[in-house]
Amino acid sequence: MFRRLLPLFALLLMAVPATAQDRVLNVYNWSDYIDPEVVARFTRETGIRVRYDVYDSLETLEGRLSAGRSGYDIVVPTSEPTFARLVRAGALRPVDRAAVPNWTNLNPTLMQRVATIDPGNRHGAIYLWGTVGLGIRLDRVRAALGDVPLDNLDILLKPENAARLAACGIMLMDSPTDVLPSVLRWLGRDPNSSATDDMRAAERALMAIRPHVRAIIASSSILDALATGEACVALTYSGDVIQAAARAREAGRGVEVGYVMPREGAQLWFDMMAIPADAPNPEAAQQFINFLLQPDVMAAITNQVRYPNAVPASQPLVNEAVRNDPNVFPSAEALSRSFVAGTPPREAVRLRTRLWSRFKAGR
The pLDDT tens digits of the residues spanning 269-325 come to 999 999 999 999 999 999 999 999 999 999 999 999 989 999 999 999 999 999 998
pLDDT value at residue 278 = 92
Residue 235 pairs in a beta bridge with 134, 172
Same domain, 33 and 148: no
Q: How far is CA 12 from the centre of its chain?
A: 27
* 20, 69, 78, 107: CA torsion to nearest 10: -50
Q: Strands 24-30 and 49-55: what pairing?
A: parallel
Region 182-188: mean pLDDT is 96
Same domain, 9 and 36: yes
* pTM metric for this prediction: 0.82
In a domain, 309, yes or no: no
Q: Outline where DSSP puts E strands in the chain.
A: 24-30, 49-55, 74-75, 124-137, 170-173, 215-217, 233-237, 257-260, 267-274
pLDDT value at residue 59 = 78
| Three-state secondary structure call for residue 112 | helix
Decide if 305 contacts 129 (C-beta within 8 A). no
In a domain, 331, yes or no: no
Same domain, 244 and 145: yes
Per mean pLDDT, which range of 166-175, 210-219, 246-255 is the poorest? Answer: 246-255
pLDDT value at residue 162 = 97
In a domain, 355, yes or no: yes
The values of phi and psi at residue 350, to 5°, are: -65, -40
Same domain, 83 and 7: yes
| Three-state secondary structure call for residue 339 | strand
Mean pLDDT computed over every residue of the chain: 90
Banded model confidence at residue 334, pLDDT cuts 50, 70, 90: confident
Supply the range of the domain harboring residue 59.
Answer: 3-123+275-293
Q: For the chain, what is the domain count? A: 2
User: What percent of the chain has a predicted confidence (pLDDT) above 90?
Assistant: 66
